[in-house]
Structure 1
């Protein structure tokens, strides 16, 4: 058998490359997916949500404003909390600067209804009834909300301008039993009461207490922050009418604002005494104590500051003597006696300055000792009497806080200078 060995060799021929033409892509030419309908739906949902949120805040704000305000054009919002009919009350703006709204009517035979609305400042509101327009000698109704929640309404006899001269549960007013109430809604107080009277006095006294200062537990009112007087014409104020009359049925609106007699004089007294005895005197003492190395600057600064402080203090004490006994609360005699004691000490200091011995005199050391201790005793008594006087006057706490801050800064500076003087020895 013959075998033929054949060798096959495959021949490969080169394949020509195929050139496929390509063009650069333009991103802008690439068609976007068709989502316009979805986008519009999302945008509409966003707009609807924002619109709903805006309406919610607008409604909430309107409700908040409505709950915190009162006007004669709106119905009495707390009528369900008042123990008598309020559907036919007449209404007028009694004291516009303090946003006092007064509603009233003749509710029947010898019975008069009143509802006084005012902002809640954390104190009391009151309305007085005066035969001649004067505060002293009139009677008033006052109410406040206690810190624990319940409201208190009391009648007062206004026998003077101090708290002790306005005793509670006295006066000529005859409130109807069980018909007096004070309530709070939003940020307003509503003082409601009925009086037994053929016709109450038509001259009214409005007052608001100092902010965040409630009456004491025995019912005595702190001195009012501000007051006003006005009058109304009660003729034709009978019941039976529906709705509220914004013109007040004869309200004259002749409201006169202001404090009680002597209010400005009291403030002038406090400012002069505080600036003279309570501020300049301690600063002048500090100049003599810690700045003697700057001679003679310390001496002239000392006598100048003390001299001005003494004159201001004397002027303040003179004004204090002009204030009547009813211009303070508590033991006014103690305040006056302390003032006289301080004035005597101040005069002794002036006399000692005029009669001071020479530096080389043997008695100079005793004079220095006297001048040192009498001056400091006068300043200490003056500081204590300033705080006592502010408390008697029933002034806002900011007076005492502000003066206390000054004393704290002054004391800290004196402490630093005292330590420094001891270290330099």
Structure 2
């Protein structure tokens, strides 16, 4: 098990944790994308049988209303209530985050403004291999719905019997998803990007996936928009001597069980706490169902780092720019303004990362692998386009015509200047 290490900003490991797209994966994905573009449904059927070991025909790719209804009805009322309550929280958060149109008028009578309009269609990739992520449906489809997206399409790999996991179907119904397709992998991304006879082409693709999905998203970007290239999950816990070793260990394992490449890191100023967390990790691993995955993750990408001071540990957060950050310290708000780079910040001992994964409201689709330095969590804004509104009055153009024409000629664009001056001549 990982052992505590004395650490400083200058000695902290800078290993970049990434599922590097090697040439072979890149070649395979390009071949799959090209095949789907050329063969459409036939490619989806063949690739689903090859990769998922499920034989479907073109009429079975899309979930029928009966399948959707059965998937929803087969879930217990108690679990449906849990999903509904989570959906209500997510919807409430994103309604508050919804940008507004605005317009302003100046003394010259000109009007400037900005108008928000949703994209027409969105495709959501929902992983279902290692774990059926019903939560991802809610965390992506609901912000899209709040934004006003007209058509929301979910793609997810089928199970061995050709069905979709009941939790995913129930989440689709609650979130208001319009269409669900039984396809996964790079082929699903290609189908969403270019369309087939059965699968509609969308304007934007969102949602997490494995290295093949991420590589496919990278290749289709430009023909279609994407949210981000998501990597394996990660958590950083900043804790002082008053924090609970059991709680910290549980939170580190909550990420480690996702993926052997997930990263779980403790930053503290207490060697005693770090040592206790190390022991507690071993105890909790003993009966964890996904212990093999979690152990490999901790051994490869975990860390228990002890800094000379809590302030230096906080500085290390900005170097790591983690997806999830927990502040388990006595005065968490005292440090909040010092944190510049983090996807989501969980404040206090009761704000478990799992709260954000399922229930709080903000989307759990977050920047990973240090990209929180320059990117943000998925939100309602990701499903909106901003359009600038410009209305110059006669007076406004008259007063600024010479300046605009001069600027155009600075760039040696004479037609631009004349487009202004001709208006002034016509106005005389």
TM-score, shorter chain, exceeding 0.5: no
Please report the TM-score for the alignment, with normalisation by the length of structure 1: 0.25
Superposition TM-score, scaled by structure 2 size = 0.25
Q: Which has the higher contact order (CA 8 A, sep 6+)?
A: 2
Name the structure where helix makes up a greater proportion of residues: 2
Higher Cα Rg, which structure: 1
